[in-house]
Amino acid sequence: MAILPYTDIEKVRLYIMDGSVSVPTEVRAFSDDELETFLSWNSGSIKETSLYCLDRLIIQAAKRFDYSQGETKVMYSKVVAQMQSQRDRIAEAVDVDDPTGGMVIAKVETNVFDNLKGSGDTLMSADKILSAE
């Protein structure tokens, strides 16, 4: 089975279920320009961008309410639940791929409070500040 060479924008569309990538005239929630911008905001991460997009879609859909009129029923609560389920699956994959969830963990080599020891300064050390709370 061959894997098609999708662009990053098409991969995001597949993750967020934003129309068919093979039908470019289909109405979509996000334009290619928007997705390109979101990808740049998320350092090119397809999964992080997908989470961002799904969060936006969930917020928009959650503002609406379920209603029925005659034979017609519109259930936004089900749409929100489906999008949340997809978001949770992607979030789990992000956590597996990157245990920091996109955060940068840095080791602090020096501490401002260490420089104050014995200086006679009236500032308390970090330990005293934390134990006072």
Per-residue model confidence (pLDDT) at position 57: 92
> Quick check: 47 and 97 in contact, CB under 8 A?
yes
Q: Splitting the chain (133 residues) into consecutive groups of 10 residues, what average pLDDT does each group show?
A: 79 88 84 94 93 92 88 89 90 68 49 48 43 44
Distance set, CA 79 to CA 16, 54, 62, 75, 124 (Å)? 12, 11, 9, 7, 53
Per-residue model confidence (pLDDT) at position 53: 94
